[in-house]
Structures are given as structure tokens and as C-alpha cells.
Amino acid sequence: MMRTALSSVLLDAPRAAAIWLGLLGVVTLAVTGLLLRPRLFRFDAGTRIREAALPSRSDHAEQRRDQERWAEEVTIAAERADATARHRRDEWLIAQDEAEQAWQAYEAAEADVRRLSDAAGMPLPQTARTPAEYADRERWLHRAALDAYWRRELSVEQLSDVFAHRGWDPRLHPVEQELMLRRAVRDHLLARQRAAREREQVTWRAAELAAAAARSLREEAAAALLPAATERESLLPLTTPAAAEQTREIPAVVGRAPVAAY
């Protein structure tokens, strides 16, 4: 009986020794790895919290789709704003040309007034003051005023005043009537020039606003298409592995000044 028990123990001893040797080898490898690479077995709470706080892949994909959709909408709006800015600029250029033409027409009318004013200082030719002469003078005044109106040199109100003799004397000499007519033309062209200048200023301001809006939308579209790479800040301050290893191997000494050797 004792021999049987002893023989069974001797037979199980190599197996038990092999198991213990295997466990000892595993423990030895774990201790060696812990001593050589401590980072592999260190629990980094900051990294875990940071990974949990960052959006997941699905959230990131959804944000990317939203960003692309927003970039497309802003790009379309920027293109429309560019078209509007070009249209406003064309309107401003047209208004600028009209203002320049109105100014040139006014200068020509002013020159005519000065020329006729100098001529009016000379003695007028003497004509018989008969009803037929007065009728001829009236017809000449009406015809000259109507021609000026068709040339857009007189307004409808001014033409009505001429035919109604409001402020106009058809019995005056044609030289005097022409001077009065040229003055009326000058006043009308001056009013047109001022109105054209105001329109030019209004269209210029509209063009500037449209250009500023288009420029802002282009910048926003560029920012949406090429978003700036911003680094996400961690919730906890993290130390680099190299700094951690250096701290473990060579502890820093703070507050001690070097002592000179004698």
C-alpha cells in the first residue's frame, strides 16, 4: 500500500515541477517586461478620459457631412453674391457714364448762356412792332422751346410754362427770347446733372455693399472648404512617455545650486 502511494507521488512529481516552472517563467517574463517597459502596464487615466470625451467615428462622419453640406451652401451663396456684385458694378459704371454726359451737356449749355449774354449787350436790331411781328416772335419761341424739349433740354413743366406764357414774354426780341431759353435749358441740365450724380453715388454705395458681401461670403466659403486644423485640448494634462521615462530614470533635482569644486 505504501509502495503504491509512493510510486504515484513519484510519477506526479515531474508533472508538478513542470507546472511550477511554467508559472515561474510567466511571472519572470511579466516582471522583466514591467521593469523594461513600464508604459505597457501603466494605466493612463487622462488618455482614457480624453478618448471617451472625443466624438466617435460615426459622430465625426456626421459632422463631416454637415460641414460639407454647409460648405456647398456657402459656396452657392458666394457665387450668387459675386453675380450680384458684378451686376451692381455694371449699374454703377452706367450711372457714372450718365453723370459724365450730363455734366458735359451742362457745361455746353453754360457756355451758350455766356455767349448769348455777351451778345445781348450789343444793340438789338430795330423791327416794326406790329401784331404780325409779335405773332412771328411767339411762333419762333414756341418752335424753339418745342425743339429743345424733343432734345430733352427742357422738362414738360418748362414747356408748359412757355406755351402758357408763365414767366415768358413772347413779344420780346428773338435774341432776348433765345437767351431766356438757353438759361432755362441750362437750369434743366443742371438739375439733370445733380440727379445723375446722386444716382451715381447711390449705385456706387450699392456696388460697394455687394462687393463687401461677396468678399465676406467668399472668405466664409474658403473657411468652410478648408477648415483650419485645430488641435483638440485634452480634459486632463498629459505627460509624454519620454518625459515619464526620464522622470523615472533620472529624477530632477530642484532648488539646489551647483557647488563649485575646490
pLDDT at position 15 is 67
Q: Which three cell numbers stand for residue 132?
A: 404780325
8 A C-beta contact, residue 178 and residue 116: yes
pLDDT in tens, 35-79: 666 555 555 555 656 555 555 666 667 777 877 788 788 888 888
Domains of the chain: 57-225 (1.10.287)
Task: Say how far apart CA 38 and CA 89 lie, in whole Å.
Answer: 69
pLDDT in tens, 193-207: 999 999 999 999 999
In the numeric block, the cell 455767349 is attached to: 115
In the numeric block, the cell 471617451 is attached to: 52
Instruction: Please compute the mean of the pLDDT values over residues 244-250 and round it to a whole number.
Output: 42
**Residue 57 vs residues 18, 47, 49, 158, 219: alpha-carbon distances, Å:** 48, 17, 16, 78, 29
Question: In 3D, which of 112, 133, 135, 121 has the Cα closest to residue 181?
Answer: 112
Instruction: Please compute the mean of the pLDDT values over residues 207-232 and round it to a whole number.
Output: 75
Contacts with 145 (C-beta within 8 Å, 6 or more apart), sequence order: 154, 158, 159, 162, 163, 181
Q: How far apart are the first and last CA of the chain?
A: 82
Q: Among positive and negative, which fits the CA dihedral 95, 99, 100, 101?
A: positive
> What does pTM read for this prediction?
0.56
pLDDT at position 90 is 93
Instruction: Please compute the mean of the pLDDT values over residues 231-260 and round it to a whole number.
Output: 43
Question: pLDDT exceeding 70 applies to what percent of the chain?
Answer: 64
